[in-house]
Amino acid sequence: MEKVVLCEACQKNAMDVVEDTDEPKQPYQLCQPCHKRLLNNSLRPIEWYNLAVLHSPKQFLLHDDFYGEDGQAFQSEDDVIVTKEDKAPTLQDVRQDLASLINFSITRWFLEDDVIDALKQHDQQRTLDSVQSRFDETTQHIEVKSRMLEIVADVLGTSAAGWVRELVNQADEEFLYPLSWAAASSLPEDEGLQHVIEKLKSISEKELPTAAFICLYRFHSNKVLNWMEVTCTHFHVHWGRLAALSCPTWDRMKTWLDKGRPISLIALETMTHCAKGNRPVLVEQCSPKILHTDKSEVENTLNDYLQKDGVPRVKTNVSTILNNKEDIFE
């Protein structure tokens, strides 16, 4: 007898419609009623959830213009009647069961602390086996695979070193960001950095500051600063952000100011990012400082630089830095 393929959304009726997604390898496979509801933005929460597990919530027709995190339809023309059994599971419902919890993690826009903590309660080896088999076998989907790598980065760390080493050695450009985070958490610092820096060589000069920030900030390594010294050809605010998160010292800042542009402007941006308030959440969470500072030198050093390069950006930076000395230097 032929095996009946079930609709991915309701998981009750037989599948009889294939609808394209943004992921060519993985179309939606649905029954007629679920297909109609998908196109009308009126899936029931559990149907949205079942699809998000397979296709990620970032997929067109599932994303957050149309549905909330609990699968509630926002934009539907018809009222979506939700009975108890149509509800999507909550974290509380799934946290004890590893496979269900990994499913749940895929349906979130971001891998947040509550899900990370729940995953950390499970046996690391089992979690690694489970994440690895989904990545290798179960899914073709780039977003879903990326989430597996985020779990490696945020939950598994060094226990996943063997697998991460295999992955970084197969040059897979489509996973540059999450694989860089996994490398930062799982591999020894020098090994991880070397791989990521090698991969960044294929990024264009224009895109490099942003890509480098995303790929390297999680290393929190002053070796990133050595690399920046030979790499930065233009000022970009992301260079300052990256340097602020890479354990900068006062001696390094003085050297950069002496070298002149563009690295001197990056030094000022680095120090400015160590001032509280008005900075991106990622930087704020790390509360970076300029380390090992001889505080008696700060004011003169910055004013000397201002004499040489007194453009408005420098004036603003120097005044921000001097007004926030207590936050910035230690």
Instruction: Kindly list the residues in this chain that would bind Zn ion in the complex (CB under 5 A).
Output: 7, 9-10, 13, 31, 34
Q: How far is the CB of 32 from Zn ion (least distance, A)?
A: 8
Q: Which is nearer to Zn ion, 31 or 268 (CB)?
A: 31
Where residue 260 falls (left for φ over 0; alpha for ψ -120 to 50; beta otherwise) is: left
Tokens of 222: 């002053």
Tokens of 112: 């947040």
Please tell me the chain's helix, strand, coil percentages from 3-state DSSP, rounded to the nearest 5: 60, 5, 35
What whole-number distance in Å separates Cα of residue 239 and Cα of residue 270? 8
The answer to whether the CB of 156 falls within 8 A of the CB of 131 is yes
Q: Which is nearer to Zn ion, 11 or 158 (CB)?
A: 11
What whole-number distance in Å separates Cα of residue 135 and Cα of residue 36? 30
Q: What is the DSSP letter of 4?
A: P
Q: Which is nearer to Zn ion, 31 or 243 (CB)?
A: 31
Q: Which is nearer to Zn ion, 50 or 185 (CB)?
A: 50
Q: How far is the CB of 31 from Zn ion (least distance, A)?
A: 3
Q: How far is the CB of 152 from Zn ion (least distance, A)?
A: 33
Q: How far is the CB of 12 from Zn ion (least distance, A)?
A: 6
Q: How far is the CB of 81 from Zn ion (least distance, A)?
A: 16
Tokens of 292: 């090992």
Q: How far is the CB of 27 from Zn ion (least distance, A)?
A: 15
Q: Which is nearer to Zn ion, 9 or 118 (CB)?
A: 9
Q: Which is nearer to Zn ion, 14 or 311 (CB)?
A: 14
The answer to whether the CB of 187 falls within 8 A of the CB of 165 is yes
Cis ω for the linkage preceding 280 (within 30 of 0):
no
The answer to whether the CB of 267 falls within 8 A of the CB of 259 is no
Tokens of 89: 């599971």
